[in-house]
Structure 1
Amino acid sequence: MLQRFSKYHGAGNDFLIADNRDGHLSLSEEVIRHLCDRHTGFGADGVMLLESGSGKDFNMVYFNPDGSGGMMCGNGGRCIVAFAADCGAVSPDSTIVFDAADGEHIASIPENGMKGEKTVRLKMKDVSGITAYPEEDGFFLDTGTRHYVKFVSGLADYPVLSEGPVLRHDSRFAPVGTNVNFVEVAGGPASTVRTICTAKGDSSTLEAEGQASTVLSIRTFEKGVEYETLACGTGIVASAMASFVRGVPPSRTAGEAVAYSVRAAIADLSVEFVPHRDNGLFCASDVYLTGPACFVGYVEVQID
């Protein structure tokens, strides 16, 4: 069977996507690994299938390049929304509701640009709980996928390819492992927001006291890819939340919501959420990830 895939990228995070609403397509781990291989295949950070949803616009099925699945991908979610609009599965002017491995998501397309470029605003899962490792300036949380966020200086020259695998396989996160995000902060002083998590599981005051022109720069070592990727949506969300907990001032505030501007390798994105506490734990609701989703082209592959 000759199968067509559409290639999209979200901030440089690239994916091969197929329309499987009729259920004709079943992909083995071997086929997924071949498709994603950048030397012998077409190359991608993941493969997605757009499938029929039960009462929703569609169901998002995501696979890592190693063939593993069962997790959410934020940039993938934005790209599959753009794909759904381009193939006529949804209207770009509507509110789009779909299911993924971590539950229901809501999306909109505030900008539908030329040459296949769209801006997609994607509602992510609510988050409950974060573990701080102050001696490492690190934080662990689950934003649909597990992430360890480490704050560093000199990000441009930071040894992501050597430090990333060490933390990805750290025994604290075994046996599942974790994605690893390295973050550098530029902007206003951290004292403008009170820290709410000072040690492992310890919570203190949750109160934003101001805002500044904060920009978070991020590099990611991604589990399943086992290499640095140009962007990671759930990691960008995790990094914004870790920044708030660390005491980094938001880029802007609106009522109870805070927002952070994030700079990935080739694109800028934003993360919004409403922080609060529940039984002493950091929580975040109304979480949104906004950024570009771009159509690249079509590829065809023979699948037996």
Structure 2
Amino acid sequence: MKLNFLKYEGAGNDFILIDNRNKSFSLINDTASIKKLCDRHFGIGADGLMVLQMKNGFDFEMLYFNADGKEGSMCGNGGRCIVAFANKLGLIKKETNFLAVDGPHYATISENGNLVSLQMIDVHEIQTEGDAFVLNTGSPHYVLEVENLASKDVYTDGKSIRYNETYKAKGVNVNFVEDFGNHYFVRTYERGVENETFACGTGVTAVSMAMAKKKGLTGSIKNSIRVPGGNLNVNFNYDGNTFNNVFLEGPATFVFEGSISL
């Protein structure tokens, strides 16, 4: 079997994109093959794989698989990249409404096709666990503010939280954040990838909300986020109870295209 693909990245969070409008992609339930495709030594290499297919009532549907080959929850940077992919395919122009695992999403794309603003789900609940915050922004996230984040062992510390007694069954994405005043610096250990990634879209969204709650901020809030792979923006409204009109904005860049024999 020969598989055609395109590779995209959003602030270093990289993905394999598959056009499945003709329903020729037969690997949706083949965890081993998807895992191999995402492997950086034996496959194409990526944090995840996305399948674009048609869906009545929407411009397209997004199916997302983690690097471990298993179907994942919502991926924010992946969502932005599949919007750029749909634009490249000619499916959409400046805006789109598509369906993902956590429901409908609206997005806009810049004229040059490289900047995507993606509307995320509303969030109604944030829990606390000691000094950390736990919330779901389409994927479950654990947020902890720390100091000296640049030197932190995110892999070891993140893995220990992801696999502790509370989270090991279903997993959680672990985000460490340092507040620099005019921006937040965020590093994330992602479940499904089981390693630190260069960026996590649902993660920086969760961090922005958690820090707003921690600081007692309300109203229209705009955050600049620095991640190892670049910069992202998160904007939302918060009334003290619900986060709505949530948008994740950043680059969605085409890297290369090719084919691989399976």
* TM norm. shorter chain > 0.5: yes
Question: Does the residue aligned with 2:245 lie in a helix, a strand or coil?
Answer: strand
The runs of 4+ residues in structure 1 deviating greater than 3 Å are: none
User: Post-superposition shift, 1:268?
Assistant: 1.0
After TM superposition, the structure 1 = structure 2 runs for residues 26-105 of structure 1, keeping only pairs within 5 Å, are 26-27=26-27, 28-91=30-93, 93=94, 95-105=95-105
User: Post-superposition shift, 1:70?
Assistant: 4.0
Q: In structure 2, what residue type is equivalent to 1:100? A: A
User: Post-superposition shift, 1:111?
Assistant: 4.5
Q: In structure 2, what residue type is equivalent to 1:260? A: N
Gaps of 5+ in 1: 188-213, 251-255
Q: Deviations over 1:144-171 (max 9, x none)?
A: 0000011100000011111011111122
After TM superposition, the structure 1 = structure 2 runs for residues 113-152 of structure 1, keeping only pairs within 5 Å, are 118-133=114-129, 135=130, 137-152=131-146
Of the three residues 131, 155, 158, the one matched with 2:152 is 158
TM-score by length of 2: 0.95
User: Post-superposition shift, 1:301?
Assistant: 1.4
Question: Does the residue aligned with 1:171 lie in a helix, a strand or coil?
Answer: coil
Percent identity (aligned): 45
Greater gyration radius: 1
Contact 1:9 1:295 in 2 (8 A): yes
After TM superposition, the structure 1 = structure 2 runs for residues 268-283 of structure 1, keeping only pairs within 5 Å, are 268-277=231-240, 282-283=241-242
| 1:238 alignment partner in structure 2 | 206
Supply the distance in 1 between the matched residues of 2:216 and 2:40 (Cα, whole angstroms): 37
Q: Deviations over 1:258-289 (max 9, x none)?
A: 11110011311110111124xxxx32111100
Count of residue pairs brought into register by the alignment:
260
TM-score by length of 1: 0.83
Contact 2:72 2:192 in 1 (8 A): no
Supply the distance in 1 between the matched residues of 2:229 and 2:172 (Cα, whole angstroms): 23
Instruction: Determine whether 1:301 maps to 2:233.
Output: no
User: Post-superposition shift, 1:42?
Assistant: 1.2
| 2:112 alignment partner in structure 1 | 112
Question: Does the residue aligned with 1:67 lie in a helix, a strand or coil?
Answer: coil
Supply the distance in 2 between the matched residues of 1:84 and 1:297 (Cα, whole angstroms): 15
| 1:3 alignment partner in structure 2 | 3
Q: CA RMSD in A?
A: 1.4
User: Post-superposition shift, 1:173?
Assistant: 2.6
Supply the distance in 1 between the matched residues of 2:235 and 2:254 (Cα, whole angstroms): 25
Question: Does the residue aligned with 1:128 lie in a helix, a strand or coil?
Answer: coil
User: Post-superposition shift, 1:26?
Assistant: 2.0
Q: Deviations over 1:205-230 (max 9, x none)?
A: xxxxxxxxx30100010000000100
Supply the distance in 1 between the matched residues of 2:211 and 2:60 (Cα, whole angstroms): 33
